C-alpha cells in the first residue's frame, strides 16, 4: 500500500492547512453517521417490541445480533479498502449502502401495511408478530445499515490518519490528536442521537426518526466528498490476508530448512522503480519459525529452472507483517471483555433506570437517553486529556502521544473494573431503597434519582475514552502499510465479540447460579452480584492483559526503511532510514 503523495516534499503551511481541512471533513462524517447509528442502537428494542410485536427476549437478541454484526463486518470493509478501493471510495460506497438501509426502515415505519397490527389494547393471544414479508423488509433494512456502517468504521479512521505522516515527529503528535478529536466527533454525534433523535422517534413517530437518520447519513456522504481534493489517499496493493496466508504456506513448505542467523541471508526486495515509496520491515526475533518463509532454497529452484512464486518464497517484510498481526491478537482479545461489560451496562442500567425517578428539573428523561451520561463525560474529558494531560505527559516521557498506546489501553481496563464494582454498590443501594419503602413488587418508580447511575456510566465513559482510542491508534500505528484499514477494523471486532459474548455470559450465569437474572423483577434479581462478578473477571482480565502487554514488542519504526527514488540525483534508489 502506498500513499499517493510525494513523501520528499517538505511540509508547507499550505500542506498543514490542507491536512487539517481534510480531518474536519472526516470528523463531520463520523459525527453525522454515528448520530444515526447510536440513536438506532439505543432505541431499537422499543421499536421491535412496540411496533414489530417481537417478544422482549427476541427484541434483545435481535438488537445484540445487529450491533455485533455491524462491528464484525468491519473486517470486510477493511479488507475491501486495503485490497481494492481507496479509503475515500470505501466511505462513499458504504455510506450509500447505509443510507438505503435507513430509507427502507423509514418506508416501513411510515406505511402501516408493512407492519403488524399494534398489540396495544389487544389480548396477548390475539397479538401477532411481524409476518415473513414484514420481517424480511425489517432485516433487509437493518443489515444494509450494518453493512454500511461497518465499511465506514473500517475506512474512515484510516482515511483521517493517512493525512499525517507517523514517521515525522511533529505529525506523529498530530496523529495522536486526530484520534482523540475523532472520538470527540463520534461522541458529539452520539449525544445528539440519544437525545434529540430519540425524542423525535418517541414523540413524533419512528418514520420521522428513521428519516432524520437517513438525512444525517446523506449529509455525512456529502461532507466526506467535499474534502476529496484535500485527501492523501492510499493506493491498494493486494489482499493482506493473502500475504499472511502465503507466509504460513511457505513456512510449512520450508519447515525442514535451517533458520539462518543473519538477516542478510533471507529474501527481501528493494524496489528501485522511480517514485515508489516502499516500507521495509527489519527482521525480529519473535515467531522465528515463520522466517523459513523467506528462505530461498536455491538448490531446488536452480535445478528445476523455475522462479519461486509468492506461495513458496516471501520477503522479510511480508513475514514481519504476519508477525505483527500475531503479536497484536492477544492485545485485541484482552479488550473483548471490556466491551462485554459495556453491553451489560447499556442493557441492565437502562432497565434499572425504569425503576427509578427519571425526572430532572421537572422533565422526564426517556430511558433510552440514559447513555448520554457517559457521552457527556467523554465530551468533557477529551479536551482536558488532549490539552492538559498529553502535553504534561509528553514533557515527562518524551513520547509524542504522552503515554504509550498499551499504557492507555491498560488504564481503560482498570477503569472498566472499577465501573463494574461501583455498579454493584449502586444496585445494592437501589434494592435497599425498594425494600425500605416496601416497593419490591411495585411498578411505581422508587424515590431514588436515576442520576445515581451516572457514576458507573461516567467511570465507564472514561474507560472507553482510554481504551477505544488507544486500541484504534495502537492498531493503526503498529499495522504495516498494507494493513492499516484491516488493523482499525480489527479494533471494532473487539466490540462485536464483546456484544456476542454478553449474551453467553448472562445465560451461563443464570444456569450456574440458579437464576440471578432470571426474574423480570430487578428488585428480586441479584444484579448486584452479577456486577461484582463482572468486576472480578475484569480484574483477572487486566492481569492477562499485563502479561500480553509486557510480552509485546512495538514495531521498530526507527529501523523501518523507506525505499525511494529521487529521480536523476545521486540519491536515486537508496534506502533511507526514517528516524522518529
- Alpha-carbon span 299 to 331, nearest angstrom: 41
Residue range 259-318, pLDDT digits in tens: 888 888 888 876 654 344 577 888 888 899 999 999 987 655 554 555 678 888 999 989
Average pLDDT over residues 178-202: 91
- Alpha-carbon span 276 to 281, nearest angstrom: 16
Residues contacting residue 306 through CB under 8 Å, at least 6 positions apart: none
Whether the predicted pLDDT of 174 surpasses 90: no
Average pLDDT over residues 175-198: 91
pLDDT score at 16: 56
HSE toward the beta carbon, residue 300, CA cutoff 13 A: 9
Residue range 450-481, pLDDT digits in tens: 889 889 988 998 998 999 889 998 998 888 88
Q: Mark out the alpha helices in 193-305 (DSSP H runs).
A: 198-204, 206-226, 240-253, 298-304
Residues contacting residue 128 through CB under 8 Å, at least 6 positions apart: 53, 116, 117, 119
Q: Which residue has the higher pLDDT, 558 or 376?
A: 376
Domains of the chain: 2-119+128-236+335-559 (1.20.1250.20), 240-321 (no CATH)
With cut-offs at 50, 70 and 90, classify the pLDDT of residue 374: confident
Residues contacting residue 336 through CB under 8 Å, at least 6 positions apart: 494, 497, 498, 501
Contact, 358 vs 445, CB < 8 A? yes
Contact, 57 vs 249, CB < 8 A? no
Average pLDDT over residues 495-524: 85
Q: Label residue 99 exposed, middle or buried (CB < 10 Å: 0-12, 13-18, 19+).
A: buried
Orientation angle between helical segments 132-161 and 56-72, nearest 10 degrees: 30
pLDDT score at 429: 94
HSE toward the beta carbon, residue 339, CA cutoff 13 A: 24
Residue range 28-72, pLDDT digits in tens: 999 999 999 998 988 888 888 888 888 766 787 788 789 889 999
Lateral strand order in the sheet of 278-280: 278-280, 561-563, 575-577
Residue range 380-400, pLDDT digits in tens: 999 999 999 989 998 998 888
Contact, 488 vs 509, CB < 8 A? no
Residues contacting residue 398 through CB under 8 Å, at least 6 positions apart: none
Q: What is the 3-state secondary structure (H, E, C) of 422-477?
A: HHHHHHHHHHHHHHHCCCCCCCCCCCCEHHHHHHHHHHHHHHHHHHHHHHHHHHHH
Amino acid at each position: 500500500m502506498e500513499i499517493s503523495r510525494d513523501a520528499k516534499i517538505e511540509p508547507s503551511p499550505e500542506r498543514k492547512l490542507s491536512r487539517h481541512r481534510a480531518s474536519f471533513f472526516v470528523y463531520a462524517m463520523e459525527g453525522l453517521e454515528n448520530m444515526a447509528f447510536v440513536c438506532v442502537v439505543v432505541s431499537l428494542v422499543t421499536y421491535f417490541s412496540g411496533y414489530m410485536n417481537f417478544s422482549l427476549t427476541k427484541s434483545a437478541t435481535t438488537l445484540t445480533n445487529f450491533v455485533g454484526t455491524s462491528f464484525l463486518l468491519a473486517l470486510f470493509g477493511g479488507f475491501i479498502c486495503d485490497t481494492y478501493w481507496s479509503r475515500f471510495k470505501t466511505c462513499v460506497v458504504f455510506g450509500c449502502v447505509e443510507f438505503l438501509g435507513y430509507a427502507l426502515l423509514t418506508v416501513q415505519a411510515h406505511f402501516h401495511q408493512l407492519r403488524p397490527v399494534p398489540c396495544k389494547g389487544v389480548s396477548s393471544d390475539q397479538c401477532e408478530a411481524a409476518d415473513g414479508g414484514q420481517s424480511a423488509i425489517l432485516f433487509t433494512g437493518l443489515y444494509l445499515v450494518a453493512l454500511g456502517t461497518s465499511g465506514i468504521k473500517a475506512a474512515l479512521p484510516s482515511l483521517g490518519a493517512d493525512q499525517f505522516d507517523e514517521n515525522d515527529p511533529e505529525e506523529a503528535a498530530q496523529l495522536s490528536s486526530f484520534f482523540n478529536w475523532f472520538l470527540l466527533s463520534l461522541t458529539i454525534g452520539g449525544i445528539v442521537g440519544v437525545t434529540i433523535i430519540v425524542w423525535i422517534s418517541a414523540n413524533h413517530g419512528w418514520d420521522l426518526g428513521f428519516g432524520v437518520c437517513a438525512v444525517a447519513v446523506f449529509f455525512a456522504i456529502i461532507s466526506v466528498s467535499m474534502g476529496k481534493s484535500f485527501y492523501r489517499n492510499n493506493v491498494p496493493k493486494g489482499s493482506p490476508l493473502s500475504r499472511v496466508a502465503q507466509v504460513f504456506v511457505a513456512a510449512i513448505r520450508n519447515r525442514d530448512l535451517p533458520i539462518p542467523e543473519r538477516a542478510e541471508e533471507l529474501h527481501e526486495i528493494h524496489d528501485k522503480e522511480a517514485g515508489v515509496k516502499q516500507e521495509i520491515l527489519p527482521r525480529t526475533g519473535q515467531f522465528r519459525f515463520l522466517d523459513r518463509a523467506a528462505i530461498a532454497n536455491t538448490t531446488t529452484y536452480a535445478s528445476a529452472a523455475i522462479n519461486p512464486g509468492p506461495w513458496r518464497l516471501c520477503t522479510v517484510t511480508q513475514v514481519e507483517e504476519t508477525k505483527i498481526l500475531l503479536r497484536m491478537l492477544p492485545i485485541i482479545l484482552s479488550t473483548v471483555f471490556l466491551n462485554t461489560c459495556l453491553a451489560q451496562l447499556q442493557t441492565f442500567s437502562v432497565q434499572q433506570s425504569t425503576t427509578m425517578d427519571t425526572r430532572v428539573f421537572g422533565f422526564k428523561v426517556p430511558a433510552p437517553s440514559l447513555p448520554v451520561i457517559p457521552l457527556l463525560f467523554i465530551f468533557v474529558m477529551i479536551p482536558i486529556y488532549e490539552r492538559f494531560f498529553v502535553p504534561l505527559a509528553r514533557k515527562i516521557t518524551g513520547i509524542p502521544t504522552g503515554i504509550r498506546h498499551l499504557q492507555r489501553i491498560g488504564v481503560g481496563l482498570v477503569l472498566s473494573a472499577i465501573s463494574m464494582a461501583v455498579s454493584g454498590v449502586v444496585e445494592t443501594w437501589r434494592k435497599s431503597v425498594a425494600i425500605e419503602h416496601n416497593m419490591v413488587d411495585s411498578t411505581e418508580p422508587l424515590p431514588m434519582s436515576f442520576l445515581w447511575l451516572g457514576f458507573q456510566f461516567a467511570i465507564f465513559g472514561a474507560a472507553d475514552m482510554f481504551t477505544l482510542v488507544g486500541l484504534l491508534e495502537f492498531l493503526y500505528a503498529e499495522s504495516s502499510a498494507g494493513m492499516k484499514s484491516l488493523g482499525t477494523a480489527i479494533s471494532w471486532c473487539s466490540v462485536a465479540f464483546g456484544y456476542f459474548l454478553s449474551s453467553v455470559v448472562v445465560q451461563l450465569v443464570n444456569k450456574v447460579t440458579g437464576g440471578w437474572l432470571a426474574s423480570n423483577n430487578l428488585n428480586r434479581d441479584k444484579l448486584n452480584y452479577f456486577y461484582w462478578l463482572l468486576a472480578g473477571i475484569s480484574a483477572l482480565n487486566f492481569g492477562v492483559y499485563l502479561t500480553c502487554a509486557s510480552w509485546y514488542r512495538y514495531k521498530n519504526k526507527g529501523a523501518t526503511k523507506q525505499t525511494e527514488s529521487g529521480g536523476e540525483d545521486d540519491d536515486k534508489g537508496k534506502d533511507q532510514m526514517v528516524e522518529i
